[in-house]
Amino acid sequence: MIIDCHGHYTTAPPQLQQFRQAQIASLKGGPKAILAGISNDEIRSSLESAQLKFQRERGTDMTIFSPRASAMGHHIGNDEISAEWTLACNDLIARVVKLYPDNFVGVAQLPQSPGVGNDRVVAELERCVTELGFIGCNLNPDPSGGHWTAPPLTDPFWYPVYEKMVELDVPAMVHVSASCNPAFHATGAHYINADTTAFMQFIQADLFKEFPTLRFIIPHGGGAVPYHWGRYRGLAQDMKRPSLSELLQNVYFDTCVYHQAGIDLLTEVIPVKNILFGSEMVGAVRGIDPSTGHYYDDTRRYVESLPLSDAEKKAIFSENARRVFPRLDAKLRKRGL
């Protein structure tokens, strides 16, 4: 079985984005936004020609699926706007999962907003897990959209979210949204900045002593972390911090790295037990690599080409995801998988 830990609903029917545009217009005095009806057939059509098509062509089985990350837009409006938008996005993911339970399982967007506490965040996480059957969440370390006004992920500000994650036994993928800072291209800079920043924040504090069962996935191959592993080992040593191997009891990386050499490096530096298969399709990079003739985000090819044992590849493709997402494992066991 191949489980893709990183997928977003980037092809949602246009009514969803129209609702978002109406929300933004309402901030300038327009009428209250109302989400137009979306039929099951429209949902099917949006997936059959995209995510489902690629699943079948590439031989993957299930995608851990969440709303479009770049559209979370936590910097837009206020916490009420964010809550309404998040509700609409998560409910749509739940409908996708209901239509295609063998292909998708849900992960929650959270209604974050700059400078606002986490009461709505905790409530929506609980709703998504206990009522919608979701198995995790995406946590944005920078709701300001590239201005980094939030406390570090190790700050007690985040503890109510972590307490709920631990209670529900769900992990979070650390994932920013769009950048409203012109210095940071969203998917080429802001995403990678955030991945790298999160790891450095974890080095600098004792979060996992406070929450020993808390689990994070750092996407996009961990940003710059694997490439600069020696730098981070050395910084931790100089700061008299624990070794990075201790962090790896709680921190994991995906394979959303779009060339073979990058995947090779990831698996040479990071233990196999800490790597989850991911592609982010249909996502940031949608084209075909002229040097290979294959899609950049067809990451299964890169993993298959690694000089690893079948058992190690199985761990990356499915077993690690089942361990990091125990609610997924429970769902699959109920199906006899």
Average pLDDT over residues 292-309: 96
Check residue 19 and give its pLDDT: 96
Q: Does the structure show a pLDDT above 90 at 241?
A: yes
Q: Does the structure show a pLDDT above 90 at 87?
A: yes
Place of tokens 């790891």: 199
Average pLDDT over residues 194-222: 98
Return the SS3 of 148.
Answer: coil
pTM score of the predicted model: 0.96
Domains of the chain, residue spans: 3-334
Q: Does the structure show a pLDDT above 90 at 108?
A: yes
Of 181, 6, 93, the closest CA to residue 110 belongs to: 93
Average pLDDT over residues 183-190: 94
Using alpha carbons, list the distances in angstroms from residue 168 to 161, 173, 269, 335.
11, 15, 31, 21
Q: Does the structure show a pLDDT above 90 at 307?
A: yes
User: For the segment 65-81, what is each residue's pLDDT rounded down to a tens digit?
Assistant: 999 999 999 999 999 99
Per CATH, domain 3-334 is 3.40.50.620 = no
Check residue 283 and give its pLDDT: 82
- Pick the catalytic residue: 280, 304, 312, 319? 280
Average pLDDT over residues 318-325: 98
Cα–Cα distance, 63 to 99 (Å, whole number): 14
Check residue 295 and give its pLDDT: 94
| Residue 80 annotated among the catalytic residues of the structure | no
User: For the segment 247-268, what is each residue's pLDDT rounded down to a tens digit?
Assistant: 999 999 999 999 999 999 999 9
Check residue 175 and give its pLDDT: 97
Q: For residues 217 and 171, is the Cβ–Cβ distance under 8 A? A: yes
- Sequence-separated (6 or more) residues with CB below 8 Å from residue 151: 157, 158
Q: Does the structure show a pLDDT above 90 at 291?
A: yes
Q: Which DSSP letter does residue 9 get?
A: E
Average pLDDT over residues 137-144: 98
Cα–Cα distance, 330 to 18 (Å, whole number): 37
Q: Does the structure show a pLDDT above 90 at 284?
A: no
Average pLDDT over residues 43-62: 96
- Sequence-separated (6 or more) residues with CB below 8 Å from residue 118: 112, 157, 158, 160, 161
Residue 335 backbone phi and psi in degrees, to 5: -90, 0
Cα–Cα distance, 92 to 104 (Å, whole number): 12
Using alpha carbons, list the distances in angstroms from residue 158 to 186, 276, 305.
24, 25, 39
Burial of 147-166, coded b for 16+ CB within 10 Å and e otherwise, reads ebebebbbeeebeebbebbe
